[in-house]
Amino acid sequence: MATLLRSALRPLRALGGPRGPAADVPLRGVRHGAGLLYPGHIPTSPLQKALLAAGAAGMALYNPYRHDMVAVLGETTGHCALKVLRDQMRKDPEGAKILQERPRISLSTLDVDKLRSLPEGSLGQEYLRFLDVNRVSPDTRAPTRFVDDEELAYVIQRYREIHDMLHTLLGMPTNILGEIVVKWFEAVQTGLPMCILGALFGPIRLSAQSLRVLVSELIPWAVQNGHRAPCVLNLYYERRWEQPLRALREELGITNPPSVHVRGLA
């Protein structure tokens, strides 16, 4: 039994190791050593995935800001949802182009000077403003490691790298309330168990006032918009930087959020 547990938990040792492929390197279906499907890939058995998922879920619930644990949870529980998302992308011209070209979003792939020079209200400028105001970076997204299919590995990597884009589209800050609202939208959009768990259990840490606002106004708004909008993974954001954010929201059917001061609530 001890030997079995040591073998099952071996992938955990890699979590503190190298970060994986650079964010400007597309994930491709080539072999990178024995059993490795892409740079940074860690093959795992069903038992190992179950143990990783259980441990990651516990840590993520204890500390929602452990993004590494949230990432592990998403990878070890999201296989079925990722296949559905991949199939949606394959059927959409823009989504299929993304799967073919494998663009990455990072500071090394973004032309920051160009984004700053774009017209006021454009997607590119608003996205950059979001990063600046909230002091976040796309480079903080963990590399995929535990998905045993290179195309699905890219799908979940793409999902992570557009997370800040969804904050921009929804007009949500990065405080815990804003993150929960985005998680509700993502849960409806993606069906990823990690998003569903985050949406359901994230509110545990909210104040009574924030919880009332969340339940009465923000969750219904996020769910409605999540159902109404087409799959957000099918948007080639890098080719839409100049598009006015308002026009993109109208294209997706995303309405303005309720008139509550989300940034001031927690």
- The pLDDT tens digits of the residues spanning 81-111 come to 999 999 999 999 999 999 999 999 999 999 9
pTM of the model: 0.86
Quick one: pLDDT at residue 101?
A: 97
Q: Is residue 2 part of a domain?
A: no
164 is in an annotated binding site: yes
Number of domains the chain contains: 1
Q: Is residue 5 part of a domain?
A: no
In a domain, 64, yes or no: yes
Do the domain assignments include residue 7? no
Domain containing 40 equals: 35-264
Per the domain annotation, does 94 fall within a domain?
yes
Model pLDDT for residues 226-242, shown as the tens digit of each residue: 999 999 999 999 999 99
Residue 6 lies in a domain: no
Domain for residue 243, yes or no?
yes
Backbone angles phi, psi at 122, to 5 degrees: -75, 160
- The answer to whether the annotation marks 261 as part of a ligand binding site is no
User: Is 167 marked as a binding-site residue?
Assistant: yes
139 carries a ligand binding annotation = no
79 part of a folded domain: yes
